[in-house]
Amino acid sequence: MTKKKNNQVYVYILDKEFCWVPALLVEQSKEKATVVVTDYKSEIEITGSNDPPPGRSTKTVTVKLKDYPNSVLPLQNVVANNHNVKPVADMIDLSFLHEAAILYNLKARHIQSMPYTRTGDIIIAVNPYKWLNKLYSEENRTHYSRTLVWEAAKKDCDPRIDLPPHVYESSALAYKGLAISGVDQSILVSGESGAGKTETVKICMNHLASVVQQEHTVLDHDTASLDMNVITKVLDSNPLLEAFGNAKTRRNDNSSRFGKFIQLQFEQGHVNPQHLTLKGSECQVYLLEKSRVVHHDNEMERTFHIFYQLLAAPDPVKTKFWKPLQGKDNTHFRYVGPTDTHSIEGVNDSDQFEKTIQSLSLIGIDGETLKTFLQAICVVLQLGNLTFAEDGKDSDHSVIASTNELQILGTLMGISVDKLSATLTTRLVKVRHEETVVPLSPESAKESTDALAKQLYDRIFLWLVRNINEATTAGGDLESYGHIGLLDIFGFESFPVNSFEQLCINFANEALQAKFTNDVFVSVYAEYKEEGIRLEEITYDDNTHVLDLIQNRTGLLAMLNEECIRPNGSDSGFVNKALHSNSKSPALIIPRIKTSDVEFGIRHYAGDVMYDATGFVTKNQDTLPTDLMECAQSSTNEIIANEIAKTTTSACSRNAESSKGSPKRKQSNLVAPTAWTKYKSSLDHLMKNLRKSQSRYIRCVKPNSLKKPAVMEHSLTLQQLRSSGVISAVTLARSAFPNRLEHTLILNRFMFLLPSKHRNKWKSLNLHDPEDQKDASEMLLTQALEPLVGKNGVKAFVIGRSKAYFRGGALEYLESMRLKALEIPATKIQAVFRGHLARTVVERRRKKEQQEMYNFYNGRAARIQSMVRMWLAQKERDKLYVKLIKAQAKALKKQKKQKKLDNAAITIQRHLRGSYIRRRYAAVFAKLKERLSLLDKIDRIQKKVNKVKKNRKKELEQAQRGIDIDHGRDIWEASQLHIEDIELSEAAQAIELLQGEHKELQIKLKTQVAVLKPLQKNFDKLMEENKKLREDFQQAHERNERTKKANQDLITRHEDMEKQTAKLKEELANLSKMYAPAANGRLDFQMGLNDILEMIRDRCDDGELVEEVFNLGQQVHNAASEMQAEANAKYEQNVLNSPENVKRRLRSGGTPKTPNIASARSRRNILNASFGKIGSPGLGSSTGSIGKEKKKK
């Protein structure tokens, strides 16, 4: 039988892949239920709608009811009209409150970008993975402050009713609670990494600061500025903690690797005690992840942000703190390593470093203190660069292989290299009064170095926290201030391998869960009391047995401390003792099949966790060897030395107190307080502060591992809801009565289930009155749920003032009764609907036929109208065609005229270019012929000079063979004079010849210039005429642009002109290529002739040709001068070495006079002077004339 939607019951069923999926209940028995479920392919398709997505089919499934709580399928909270999930702001208002309902309510709000949801006083914050500007605007912050703090007293109801859920609600109510009741407040933020805890704490702190600013807007200027200074310090201290304590992990780019509890300190006003003034803050930190300093996944993670910020700073900035940082980045340090992430939350590391330095300056860390502080950070970095190797003499000994890195580290720490090397590669063991040096293997030495780096960073971090507290803590008596604390701590952790850190974190979460359970029970108690319900039946499970297992005297961690004190304590010994002492604890899991001696498990409130105790003893001792501490204490870095000294002093002081009266001796680190002892002490202090305060809870949820908005992974979300205690809180709130409905909803939904004999009683009731609604609801439920009354007479429901509370299965029974009661009227309604549907179909068919007839006749009329319009259009077209033919005839006539003009222009241009090129190259070839003839003449002169040289050389040789010296000298002088006369006459002839040619060339140049000027004028006139012709052509082109054919012809002619131009250019280039090689081949033996030809071809400048010719003559003159000087030198040498001159020198004892040499020199100077007088003016005049011509051009 087909069912109407009003009868359908929507439920959730378990699914292996998607945890819970919506389904439609078809049939149900005591043991089984049949449902229809959509075949979903991904979680994105599951949006809370019960309608299948496009392209998805449904299937019928049978489920076993024993797999579900109370053997009942959980019902959906659907909207009545569309049967989709109805998202609510406060999940307490859900009619059916269970795990599946919580999941789908959060998912529906997450998809709609509503990240916050209430569960009573708990705020569930789902990370939206995007910044919602409107949600965190200044107006929104002010609205929450005004509604919940300043105007709350004017309202009689809960002011949160008018506000959507928000973390501003928690911060505003905390402020209100401290201001009005004077009770300290705390906001506990928890969740796994990447859920948004750190960002939530910052949002709450900023909101609290804004509330204080709103309150003090009426203060005087000095007080307001003082408050703003405190607020700025408090807010800016948080980024400092992030820089030194946060790191990128696989799940979160800005993950807090430590827990922190920030207490804001407020002072009540003197005039109005309800007005608070922020005076300061104090921060307590827990469990810094020191191991991240020396190890992290280089591919997906980073170590602490401060290392990347320091190394990303510009060289001039970071070298102020440590010079070896010049040119280095994170790849130069092993502890940091390569990374593909260089910005966090949109700010790159370099810019973030500037903000970190500014924040440090704000709390008083600057100057030399800042330099010392950052150098301490560099010490940690440099420790990671040390490498160790086996000693060649002994394989059990180790040496530091990286000597350069060791030298840098020693200089940085102010410790000698020998001392540092000995401390890192050996261990000093003290037994009574004897000291023994034990060498370390390379592996042990590296572990010791890493331990030192971790300890140093931990002490540096604590030093920073102390300085922040000193700068931000209020002065005076701290007990007199009110406190609002914000706790940001790790969520429950369960990994494939869980170690000591996970045990400490989960223990803290167990302690917080115990307080959370107690606070939820108090709120449930208050609700039931307000509704007038008796509370004898309310029971709930607590986690006391888990806390006892961990922290009792014989608990796990007490056994661990005991094992750390033993000389040969081991991890396996600790596990054996712990299992034996606590074997009866219900919270302890003892593996049935032991795969390891260090394995045990605990049944936590959030699930079972198996722990691997490997390294528990070492991690719990948390101490450095004495010689390592003494070495670090000797550092010149004051921060390192003082912090290590404080650790040593505190340990020794405790040992001294326990051994008064005994002889003084140096204490061992074996009896120092363990990591668990220190952590337990700080956790007890935290829980003490929390118990004194009124706590508010914010549970942060990471919706998916992809870090994408509007996507929720069911399994991941449910695991977090369970581990954060949200599911247990709901279970506690609904432990006795899991479902509740308001009286008005009960009457509207189940009124027809009341038997008719009892309906007459309702006539006397006013169903708009709350008391009558309560009586009517009780009457209805008493009759409807009578079969569920227990043997002891206990009803399946309890009536409150505004709601009815149902025991397990009661509401589901009501829904099944409603389903059966609606089946009969549903059939009648369906029959009426089908009749209406058939009549509607017939009516639609009739209207369709009428419309077809109308369209038929309307089409005929339209066809006639179209034919008339076509005839009129054809008539108009004929008129336009006649006009077009006339216009085309006119255009064709103009085109022919324009074509004639174009052809005439082309012919003129062709003749003009041809004439110009022929004249230009004829002049060039004439000049080349003249130059070649001149060169031939110069060659002939050169040959004559060479011939004279040869004759003169022969005469000299004959003189040296035995001819009488005096006679030879006379002959030589005569021949020399004869040679000089010949040379002078030939040189004079050459000069006259050159001067004559020079004058002829000047005359030719003037003639060519005179011829060129009228040609240039004619060419300019032709260009102007051509320009006018082009303008006329352009005008004709614009006039004839309307016709397509004329336009195409003009484009074609334009392309032809471009082709002709290209052909002319190509012919010119071919001529140049044809004549240039011949000229270059004949003049290649003279330098500079290529430049002359290039200038003639490019410029057609005759002045340059004259200048080059003169230069060639000058070269001939220089060559002749050099030959003359060479001959004179040889002649002088021969005269000096003659026998007569030698005899004269011997007789006179001095240098003989050489009048012949002097006379020869005088004749040579006269020749040179004559060449200078003839050549210089010609060169100068030629150069000057060329310069003048250049200026004119």
816-861 pLDDT, tens digit per residue, is 777 777 767 777 788 888 888 888 998 988 888 888 888 887 887 7
pLDDT at 184: 92
Is residue 529 very low, low, confident or very high in pLDDT (cuts 50, 70, 90)? confident
Better-predicted residue by pLDDT, 1167 or 225 = 225
| 298-304-309 Cα angle (round to 5) | 100
Q: Is the pLDDT of residue 316 over 60?
A: yes
Mean pLDDT of 1068-1086: 52
pLDDT in tens, 662-718: 444 444 444 568 888 888 998 999 999 899 999 999 999 999 988 899 999 999 999
Q: Among the ranges 190-194, 926-930, 1004-1008, 1117-1121, which has the highest mean pLDDT value?
A: 190-194
User: With 0-12 CB in 10 A as exposed, 13-18 as middle and 19+ as buried, what is 1037?
Assistant: middle
Block residue for tokens 């970190």: 356
574-599 pLDDT, tens digit each: 999 999 999 999 999 998 887 888 99
Q: Please give the DSSP secondary-structure letter assigned to residue 264.
A: E
Judged against a pLDDT cut of 90, whether residue 372 lies above it is answered with yes
pLDDT, position 417: 93
Q: What is the per-residue pLDDT for 1175?
A: 39
Q: How many CB atoms lie within 10 A of CB 290?
A: 21
* Alpha carbon distance 871, 848 (integer Å): 35
Q: Over the stretch 448-488, which tens digit does the pLDDT of each residue have?
A: 999 999 999 999 999 999 999 999 898 777 788 899 999 98
Q: How far apart, in whole angstroms, are the C-alpha atoms of residue 740 and residue 1001?
A: 124
- The rounded distance, in Å, linking the Cα atoms of 41 and 51 is 15
Give the pLDDT mean for 74-100: 83
* DSSP-assigned beta bridge partners for residue 12: 22
By DSSP bridging, strand 122-126 and strand 694-701 are parallel
Query: pLDDT digits over 271-288, tens only?
Result: 565 678 888 899 999 889
Contact 703, 79 (CB under 8 A): no
The whole-number pLDDT of residue 224 equals 45
Cα separation of 761 and 743, whole Å? 17
Instruction: Answer yes or no: is pLDDT of 1181 > 50.
Output: no
Q: What is the pLDDT of residue 663?
A: 40
Dihedral of alpha carbons 83, 84, 86, 92, sign: positive
pLDDT score recorded for residue 253: 84
Q: Is the pLDDT of residue 410 over 70?
A: yes
Q: Is the pLDDT of residue 340 over 90?
A: no
User: Are 382 and 427 a contacting pair, CB within 8 Å?
Assistant: no
- Residue 1011: per-residue pLDDT: 67
Helix axes 500-531, 726-733, angle to 10 degrees: 30
Confidence of residue 1059 (pLDDT cuts 50, 70, 90): confident
pLDDT at 1154: 44
Report pLDDT for 609: 93
The three-state (H, E, C) secondary structure of 763-806, written as one string: HHCCCCCHHHHHHHHHHHHHHHCHHHCCCCCCCCEEECCCEEEE
- Is the Cα torsion angle 1156, 1158, 1161, 1162 positive or negative in sign? negative
Cα distance between residue 126 and residue 102, in whole Å: 12
User: Within 10 Å of residue 8's Cβ, how many Cβ atoms?
Assistant: 16
What average pLDDT score do residues 631-646 get? Answer: 90
- pLDDT given at position 1166: 39
Extract the annotated binding site for ATP: 191-198
| Angstrom distance (rounded) from CA 723 to CA 604 | 9
Q: Dihedral sign, CA of 867, 869, 874, 875?
A: positive
Return the minimum-mean-pLDDT range out of 402-411, 820-829, 978-987: 978-987
pLDDT at position 341 is 74
**Is the pLDDT assigned to residue 142 strictly greater than 70?**
yes
Q: Is the pLDDT of residue 877 over 60?
A: yes
pLDDT at 641: 92
| Element counts in the chain: helices (H) and strands (E) | 33, 25
Q: Tens digits of per-residue pLDDT, 422-439?
A: 999 998 887 667 778 888
At 24-59, the pLDDT tens digits run 998 888 889 999 999 888 888 888 788 888 878 889
CB under 8 Å to 634, separation ≥6 — which residues? 415, 419, 641
629: left (phi over 0), alpha (psi -120 to 50) or beta: alpha
1073 confidence band (pLDDT: 50, 70, 90): low
Confidence at 153, pLDDT banded by 50, 70, 90: low
Q: Could you read off the pLDDT of 160-198 as tens digits, one per residue?
A: 888 999 999 999 999 988 988 888 999 999 888 888 888
Q: Residue 1050: is its pLDDT beyond 60?
A: no
Report pLDDT for 535: 62
Q: Judge contact between 335 and 366, C-beta under 8 A.
A: no
Summarize the confidence of residues 807-822 as an average pLDDT. Answer: 76
In Å, how far from its chain's centre is CA 210? 30
Q: Both tokens of residue 673?
A: 């307080």
Work out the burial of residue 169: count CB atoms within 10 Å of its CB; fewer than 13 is exposed, 13-18 middle, 19 or more buried: buried
SS3 698: strand
Residue among 727, 1140, 710, 759 at smallest CA distance from 968: 1140
Question: Under 8 Å CB-to-CB from 347, ≥6 apart: which residues?
Answer: 355
Percent of the chain with pLDDT over 90: 28
Please provide residue 660's backbone torsions phi and psi, each rounded to the nearest 5 degrees. -70, 140
Please state the residue numbers annotated as binding site: 191-198
Residue 4 has pLDDT above 60, yes or no: no
Flag the least confident range among 240-249, 464-473, 616-625: 616-625
Question: Considering the chain, what is the average pLDDT of its residues?
Answer: 79
Any bridge partners for residue 60, and if so which?
36
Of the chain, the percentage scoring pLDDT greater than 70 comes to: 75
The letter for the amino acid at 604 is: H
Q: How far apart are the C-alpha atoms of 76 and 12, rounded to whole Å?
A: 7
Return the structure tokens found at 316.
Answer: 């001039």
> Is the pLDDT at 1103 greater than 70, yes or no?
no
Q: Give the relative orientation of helices 99-111 and 714-723 as an angle to the nearest 10 degrees.
A: 120
C-alpha dihedral, 1024 to 1026 to 1032 to 1036, nearest 10°: -160
Whether residue 1168 is predicted with pLDDT greater than 50 in this model: the reply is no
At 346, is the secondary structure helix, strand, or coil?
A: coil
